[in-house]
Amino acid sequence: MNTQELALVFYTILVQMSVGAFVILGFVHLYAERKSDQKNADEMSDRALLAIGPVVVLGVLASLFHLGNPANAFRAVSNLGTSWLSREILFTLLFVGTGAVFAVLQWRKIGSFRLRQMIALAAAVLGVAVVYSMSSIYQLTSQPAWDSLATPINFFSTAFLLGALVLGVAFVINYSYLQGKKDRANIDIQSEMLRKVLQWIALSSIALLGLQLVVMPLFVSQLSAGNAAALESAGKLTSEYGWIFAVRLVLVALGAGVFGLFLYRNALLNNQRMMANYAFVAFALVLVAELLGRYLFYAMHVRIGI
């Protein structure tokens, strides 16, 4: 791996996390609106929405470090006809742009609720297109370790796993902010929504962990049955980088599995202090696990031929 590929580790993780958080936040808002009203739903989700902005911008900035010649970066959308990289960059720009427009309208409550909802839906669809085109970049015949269904599955599972858990943290912080406000009329409904949403976040994390644990061995056995380059990649994953692979698996199982379960349990019992702590720990562990996993993705690939 070279430093340019290290930039991609941060770019792909941060952007995927942002897309996942944005999409899931939409569902949370829908739920909160039905459970209470628009105002309470906004109170719960608006600050989290604004927090996505810096994360995605940081990701896009990281991507510039991937370029040997960033002065030409504007040319990167010149081959939309055949290059998935061009498409990915276009979709990323559209996602960031539409998401930013939505965030401003939503924050300032400009335009009707319906209109804002439509813009948010458009941004969410663009976000999914970002992750899809990102994974299509790696569907290269020359790179058997990437040219697999495992790539899109992993990218989407990263998006939703990290997206869900980072929202958990955001909601916990938002709730403690609401608790500190003078007007605490709605704190009970906010507390009720928080613990319900944290339960769903915990269950989704456990489900996505399950998906990862199914895909992982299938992927390794697919590589082991492949050509020389595929075998070399499998060897890198299990020997040269075997310990990173092991640490990554332990961390994701701990974060999404064990702490996911703790989070679910404490949210169910409405044990507020503990569920806040577990939301933080689960996110931190899974973030490190996903960064290591993405590092492996770029460290293990071996090109066929010469």
Contact set with another protein (CB under 8 A): 4, 66-70, 72-73, 75-79, 82-86, 89, 137, 140-143, 227-228, 301, 303-306
CB of 5 to another protein, least distance (A): 8
Rounded CA-CA distance 96/117 in Å is 16
∠ CA(202), CA(204), CA(210), 5° rounding?
105
Query: In the structure encoding, which two tokens stand for residue 3, read together?
Result: 């430093």
In the complex with another protein, the residue whose CB is nearer, 142 or 224, is 142
The CA distance from 165 to 202, in Å, is: 8
Residue 84 Cβ, how far from another protein at the closest point, in Å? 7
Minimum CB distance to another protein smaller for 96 or for 275: 96
Q: What is d(CA 213, CA 222) in angstroms, rounded to the nearest whole number?
A: 15
CB of 7 to another protein, least distance (A): 11
Q: How far is residue 77's CA from residue 79's CA, in Å, rounded to a whole number?
A: 6
Nearest distance in Å: CB 60, another protein: 14
Helix axis angle, 272-300 to 3-35, nearest 10°: 150
Question: What does the alpha-carbon distance between residue 211 and residue 203 come to, in Å, rounded to a whole number?
Answer: 13
Helix then strand then coil, in percent of the chain rounded to 5, is: 85, 0, 15
Q: What does each C-alpha distance from 208 to 39, 157, 227, 247, 248 come to in angstroms?
A: 31, 6, 30, 18, 15
Closest contact distance (angstroms) between CB of 78 and another protein is 4
Nearer to another protein, 146 or 160 (CB): 146
Q: How far is CA 58 from CA 55, 62, 63, 65, 269, in A?
A: 5, 6, 9, 11, 37
**CB of 129: closest distance to another protein in angstroms?**
16
Q: Which is nearer to another protein, 208 or 299 (CB)?
A: 299
User: Cβ closer to another protein: 71 or 185?
Assistant: 71
Distance CA 113, CA 38 (A): 9
In the complex, least distance from residue 123 CB atom to another protein, rounded to whole angstroms: 23
Q: Is 212 helix (H, G, I), strand (E, B) or coil?
A: helix
Residue 150 CB contacts under 8 Å (≥ 6 apart), including other chains: 215, 218, 219, 222
Interacting residues of 265 by C-beta distance below 8 A, sequence separation 6+: none
Contact 164, 24 (CB under 8 A): yes
Instruction: Write down the least CB distance from residue 86 to another protein, Å.
Output: 4
Q: Is the Cβ of residue 69 or residue 217 nearer to another protein in the bound state?
A: 69
Shortest approach of another protein to residue 224 CB, angstroms?
15
Q: Which is nearer to another protein, 29 or 87 (CB)?
A: 87
Q: Which is nearer to another protein, 5 or 46 (CB)?
A: 5
Closer residue to another protein (CB): 78 or 179 = 78
